[in-house]
Amino acid sequence: MANDQPITIAGNLASDPEMRFTPSGSAVANFTIIFNPQRFDKNSNSWVKGEPISWRCEAWNQGKLIRAENICNMLKKGDWVIAVGVLETKTWTTKENEPRSRIQVKIESIGKDLTFHGQAYAANDVPAAATSSQWGGNEPVAQSDPWGAPPANAGGWGTATTSEPSF
C-alpha cells in the first residue's frame, strides 16, 4: 500500500471466498463484501433500507504471508468482516475485442468484526482469562483483593471513627 489511499469497508461476505492460483503458482482469494445501509425515518418511525453496496475484493499471498489461504480457511459466507485495502481498476479485453474495466479492492488486512461474532457471556459466567493467574496456568484467581475494598475502620468523608489522621 505504498502511497495509495487505504479504505476501510465493513459488511457481510456474499459467498465463501474462492481460492485460485496463477500460472506461476501465486494464490489469490476472491470474494465480495456487501453492506446493506439503513437509516431511521423520523416521519414513519421506522428503519428504511437503502441500496446494497457491493465490493469485489481480492487478497494475495505475499511471500510468507499466506493471507489468501487464511481468508479461505477462516471466513465463510455471511461473516461480518472489516477489511482495509486500496482501490484498483482492473481492465481487460473480451473475446469480441471490447474493452472492459471494474473497480475492486485489493485487501491488505481483514478480520471478523467481534461485535457480531463470538459467544456472549451469561450474567454468572466467568471469562476464561479470569480463571487463571498466569498464562496457561490453572490456579484459581484470588477472590479477595485487599486493595479493592475500603479499610475496615473508614467511615467515609467527614465521619472518621478516630480524631487522629490515619497517616
Beta-strand pair 53-60/99-112: parallel
What ranges do the domains of the chain cover?
A: 7-112
Closest Cα partner for 15 from 56, 65, 69?
Answer: 56
- Tell me: pLDDT of 162 over 60: no
7-112 under CATH 2.40.50.140, yes or no: yes
- Whether the CA torsion 128, 133, 134, 138 is positive or negative: it is negative
Lowest mean pLDDT among 51-65, 122-136, 148-162: 122-136
- Tell me: pLDDT of 7 over 90: yes
Show the cell assigned to 54. 457491493
- Tell me: pLDDT of 131 over 60: no
**Global confidence as pTM:** 0.64
3-state secondary structure (DSSP) of residue 132: coil
**What is the tens place of the pLDDT at every residue in 101-112?**
999 999 999 998
